[in-house]
């Protein structure tokens, strides 16, 4: 059985292009599932739909988070499809398997006014502030993930044509577009960056766009902490992270008429249902506005 799970992990890693975190989670999911099969004395050839349902039910009774339960169900489904496609078994226990419902919380987003207020509260003289303003402008302009932002290299940045080439999750490539504000902020940062490191040899870090005062790439945690300080200064009471700007980008794009498929492409989502949640955010906002301002709200 261990050989089969190893082969499946290789398959999803190289054929599906899943992230390292997902691969790690799938390994744990399969170990749990295989242990369950051993406990009930079943194999891949005689496990049934009812057995898998019982396995998922037991996990639910242990207060496993809905998203984790959904992932485990998906892992088991893909595992059995893999076994059948490879001719290892003809048994198909997942044919009529009902997946657990995926409960998605609506993401926290900033209003357009809050984004403007945040950016206006960032000082324009200090090294870190100029860099951070450029980073925030780029996040809001493009919807990048924070890991994509801090790892941005000059080879992938084209200021003339105003775009960034990103290699995202699973090695998938996409193009994101910069606006005028983000290009201006980037140019100002690059002038300061060049002045700061003009006479220093940065070795392997010279290729990174965003650097600390020590000439090293800024970490996600450092950027997050500095962003929180700006949020506090701007008197924004929401719990804001770099991902909040990604959520805000998507919500505002859809609100002002962008096509859902375009936003999906810009965000790098493989499944459009992931992008659709932002349409729900906008609807929820409309409901809140209506309730607040309608005389019979």
125 has a pLDDT exceeding 90? no
User: pLDDT-based confidence at 103, cuts 50/70/90?
Assistant: low
Q: Which of 140-149, 259-268, 273-282 has the lowest mean pLDDT?
A: 273-282
Percent of the chain with pLDDT over 90: 53
Mean pLDDT, rounded, of the chain: 86
More confident site: 29 or 294 = 29
* Residue 84, pLDDT score: 93
142 has a pLDDT exceeding 70? yes
* Residue 13, pLDDT score: 80
Distances from the Cα of 84 to the Cαs of 12, 78, 232, 238, in angstroms? 15, 10, 55, 48
* pLDDT tens, residue by residue, 270-286: 777 777 777 766 555 54
Instruction: Give the number of other CB atoms < 10 A from CB of residue 30.
Output: 21
b/e sequence 93-106, b meaning 16+ C-beta within 10 Å: bbeebeebeeeeee
Q: What is the mean pLDDT of residues 15-35?
A: 86
112-293: CATH topology: hpI Integrase; Chain A (1.10.443)
Spatial distance between the Cα atoms of 23 and 27, rounded to a whole number of angstroms: 6
User: pLDDT-based confidence at 163, cuts 50/70/90?
Assistant: very high
Angle subtended at Cα 228 by Cα 224 and Cα 234, rounded to the nearest 5 degrees = 145
User: pLDDT-based confidence at 79, cuts 50/70/90?
Assistant: very high
More confident site: 296 or 223 = 223
Distances from the Cα of 264 to the Cαs of 131, 167, 223, 278, 285, in angstroms? 28, 15, 25, 10, 21
Spatial distance between the Cα atoms of 29 and 36, rounded to a whole number of angstroms: 11
* Residue 149, pLDDT score: 95
Rg of the Cα trace of the chain? 23
Domain boundaries, the chain: 2-85, 112-293
68 has a pLDDT exceeding 70? yes
* Residue 170, pLDDT score: 67
204 has a pLDDT exceeding 80? no
259 has a pLDDT exceeding 60? yes
Architecture of 2-85 per CATH? Orthogonal Bundle (1.10)
pTM (predicted TM-score): 0.63
Spatial distance between the Cα atoms of 143 and 245, rounded to a whole number of angstroms: 7
* Residue 139, pLDDT score: 95
Q: What is the mean pLDDT of residues 239-261?
A: 89
Instruction: Name which of 183, 181, 136 is nearest 164 in CA terms.
Output: 183
264 has a pLDDT exceeding 80? yes
Strands across the sheet containing 157-158: 157-158, 163-167, 173-177
* Residue 289, pLDDT score: 46
More confident site: 1 or 37 = 37
Phi-psi category of 290—alpha, beta or left, where left has phi over 0 and alpha has psi -120 to 50? Answer: alpha
User: pLDDT-based confidence at 186, cuts 50/70/90?
Assistant: very high
104 has a pLDDT exceeding 70? no
* Residue 245, pLDDT score: 94
Spatial distance between the Cα atoms of 161 and 146, rounded to a whole number of angstroms: 22
Which residue numbers are catalytic? 145, 169, 243, 246, 269, 278
* Residue 171, pLDDT score: 74
* pLDDT tens, residue by residue, 231-247: 999 999 998 989 899 99
| 3-state DSSP assignment of residue 177 | strand
């Amino acid at each position: 059985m261990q050989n089969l799970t190893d082969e499946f992990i290789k398959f999803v890693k190289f054929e599906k292009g899943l992230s390292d975190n997902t691969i790690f989670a799938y390994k744990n999911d399969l170990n749990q599932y295989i242990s369950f099969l051993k406990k009930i004395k079943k194999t891949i050839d005689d496990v049934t739909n009812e057995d898998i349902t019982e396995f998922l039910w037991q996990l639910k009774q242990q207060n496993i988070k809905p998203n984790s339960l959904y992932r485990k169900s998906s892992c088991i489904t893909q595992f059995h499809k893999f076994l059948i496609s490879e001719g290892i078994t003809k048994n198909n226990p997942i044919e009529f398997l009902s997946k657990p419902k995926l409960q998605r919380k609506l993401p926290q987003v900033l209003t357009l006014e809050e984004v403007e207020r945040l950016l206006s509260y960032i000082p324009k003289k200090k090294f870190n502030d100029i860099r951070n303003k450029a980073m925030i402008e780029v996040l809001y302009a493009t919807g990048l993930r924070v890991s994509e932002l801090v790892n941005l290299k000059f080879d992938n940045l084209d200021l003339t044509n105003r775009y960034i080439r990103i290699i995202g999750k699973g090695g998938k490539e996409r193009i994101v577009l910069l606006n005028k504000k983000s290009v201006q902020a980037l140019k100002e940062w690059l002038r300061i960056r060049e002045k700061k490191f003009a006479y220093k040899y940065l070795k392997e870090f010279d290729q990174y766009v965003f650097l600390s005062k020590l000439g090293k790439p800024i970490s996600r945690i450092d950027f997050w902490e500095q962003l929180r300080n700006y949020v506090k200064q701007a008197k924004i009471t929401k719990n804001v992270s770099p991902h909040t700007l990604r959520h805000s980008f998507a919500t505002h794009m859809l609100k002002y008429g962008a096509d859902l498929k375009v936003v999906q492409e810009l965000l790098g989502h493989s499944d459009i249902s992931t992008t659709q949640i932002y349409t729900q955010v906008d609807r929820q906002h409309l409901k809140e506005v209506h309730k607040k301002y309608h005389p019979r709200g």
